[in-house]
Structure 1
Amino acid sequence: MTHTDLTDTEIIKRILQGEQVLFAQLVQRYQQYVFTLVLRFTGNREDAEEVSQDVFVKAYRSLADFRGEAKFSTWLYTVVRTSCITFLRKKKLTIASMDNERTLAQLENRESGFNANIIEQKSRHAMVNAAIRLLSPDDGQLITLFYKGEQTLEEIGRIMGLDPNTVKVKLHRARHRLKEKMEKYFSYELEH
């Protein structure tokens, strides 16, 4: 069995038994997931790269706290969220609550207007990410966790403190709103 065939739980167990070099496997598996989530909170690539590194340092130091009750990615999400909140507070942004819709919208749009990014980024992936940033924070979080983080409805429910059925309904609505944003802001790109 190669290292890449090991499950997250098996890798974590071996790291805690002294094979620290295996942590690179977890980083490799989750670096895109972490970066995508962090970018959603910070709004710019430079900050996202810095915070992503910090997330993995904190995850490594706290690995013994992972109990395996949920997927590693679910546990890692809480490290991402905590690290982002800490980072944003250090940047002296006034954050009444990370769940405050207007505050998060301001954070996501403060770096540069997304219109400039649309002109620069023509790929479908970039358009979808731009459309996700136009959604409310809750909708964006649901879409990101379900499609990019590949979390189950139950795991998303645990992360967001919601019943899985509520998550299912909210996800359906979020998908509909994402489609509306895509059609409204990217209709030309979608046609060509």
Structure 2
Amino acid sequence: MSDKLTLVVVGDEGVGKSALAVRLCLDQFAEGFEPTLDDSYRTRMVVDNRPCFLEIIDTAGRGEYAALREDYIRDGEAFIIAYSITSRASFSHVRAYYNNIKKVKKDKEVENNLQLSPSKRQSRSPIILVGTKTDLQAQREVSFKEGRMLSQSLDCWFYETSPKCGSDVERTFNDVIRCFRQHNLPSPPASKRLWKGQIGRRIHDPRRCIIS
């Protein structure tokens, strides 16, 4: 049995949203990309011996494309909020992206509850906070502790990654898929379920961070 998952990536321009997707899908480092209007990437992954067809929607940064981004959020099933550890400004905008996701999904939930039967209502949507560019430690402006504390306050999973080096990129996407399955699909055997602390110190409690 194969799963399908639409993952929407949001964050400021230049934080490495495209680089995350390209590293996962093509195993390359996307350097020198033009600012993204909106793009999508598709790949097939096998997580816990179960295939998943993943569509990654790479959205534009802040500004005039906010309405278009909200259209993608409405249809998204899981979310990554990305910031660069070298940019405190991008980190300061994380909560605004989070609130935007929650508002758009809440509005859609209300709409669905009025129009759809319970069996067709909105799925539960995991969110992950990702700090990028860990290869640029000399330029770090946001500490790991600050990222972790923000993720805890938002009940989000948390990773720091380097799309350039590839560190923790695949694991981040794998765990998005695991979390989505855990909350929306038939339960796997107990040995394959996610529990707090199972997948490393860079993640906050994986049973939380759900928009239901």
If the length of structure 1 is used for normalisation, what is the TM-score?
A: 0.31
Q: As a proportion of its length, which structure holds more helix?
A: 1
Q: As a proportion of its length, which structure holds more strand?
A: 2
For the pair shown, the structure with the greater C-alpha radius of gyration is: 1
Q: Larger relative CO (CA 8 A, sep 6+): 1 or 2?
A: 2
